[in-house]
Amino acid sequence: MNIFKFLMAMMLSCMLLAGCKPVAQCNGDQCVSIDVEVDGLPSADLSLKTDSEGIVTAESITSSEVAQVYVKCFQKDTRIHLPQGGTPNAVATLTKDIKTNTWKGYLALANPSGAVVFLAYAVDAGGKHLYSGSSETANIESINGIPLTITVYGNSNGTTAAYNLGDWGPGGGWIFYVAPNYSAGWRYLEAASNYWNGTGNDPTAMWADISNSVAGTVTTLGQGKENTNKIVAFAAAQLPPLSGTAAQLCAALHFNAYSDWFLPTTTELTAMFNNLFTFSIGGFENDLYWSSRQYSVNTTKAYFVEFIEAGAPSTDAKESTNYVRPARRF
């Protein structure tokens, strides 16, 4: 056996038998080690390398409730997900080695620079988020070889939420509503980053054509997705089909690895106003934001919520242009 084959065999044995870290070969590139402490569970050590051979290991996340562990990295100023392995919107998905109770995977960041935020989260088999936490570094180039610590909060029985109001969401946005527990497949509502449109400023759009009614839209918290689907179907059925409406902009969005964004209801927008805007979080415009709720008294109008002082809903003609901010639920 030549020396190359011998070294490769030793490395493979180490990884399979002991879950140990591979030898770092950054070739001058940035190497970052992240120690993840999971509340109520054994700690997990994530070793990240930013070259093409970057490997992630996470040791001893043993809860039977945890089905998958993910790591994402965002540019802090834009909250845009950094390409991993050169692939936009890719997520570092760790794989569990059942023999060693070790989670392993790959994370290769494409030339990270400046201030970044690492987000780690664990989910159960149904996709419920059990644990989450983030860690920020002001200058990623300055922490070569220095461990960071992400404390991941939450628990498997749901009494401690994985996210709190204002936290980083998995879509790079801000958590603006936390339900007491999971219901109908979701517990958290997340507002998109103000860079969702690529400019740092929310765009304006019309709601829809005024000539027909979109039946069944509601104000209910958590129902923006259903409202958006109805508006998009209505717009597509028009002759000629409508394009560029507020709901269509949200439904067509693929941002930070998610494509489940929607136009919020009035109640959801009010929660954004109260829990984000009033604390100067989110980069919102001081103006009117379309909701996904049609006005029932006069179907030529739809509701908006004013992001100025009171966060109050009112109505405007559907063909008027108001600001748009997508949301998602999970």
pLDDT in tens, 203-249: 999 999 877 799 999 999 999 999 999 999 999 998 899 999 999 99
**Measuring CA to CA, how many Å separate 244 from each of 138, 228, 289, 319?**
38, 13, 15, 11
How is domain 23-162 classified at the CATH fold level?
Immunoglobulin-like (2.60.40)
Angle at 303 between CA 299 and CA 305, to 5 degrees: 170
Query: How many Å is the Cα radius of gyration of the chain?
Result: 22
Distance CA 162, CA 127 (A): 13
- Whole-prediction pTM: 0.81
Predicted local distance difference test score (pLDDT) of residue 310: 86
Distance CA 191, CA 117 (A): 17
Q: pLDDT tens across 62-109, in order?
A: 566 888 878 788 999 999 988 765 566 666 666 666 665 555 555 556
Lowest pLDDT segment from 3-12, 48-57, 119-128, 316-325: 3-12
Tokens 């597509």 correspond to: 236
Q: pLDDT tens across 19-50, in order?
A: 333 322 223 344 343 444 333 344 444 444 43
Distance CA 124, CA 126 (A): 5
Are the CB atoms for 257 and 89 separated by under 8 Å?
A: yes
Q: Which two tokens stand for residue 261?
A: 């964004």
In the chain, domain spans: 23-162, 204-329
Distance CA 120, CA 153 (A): 10
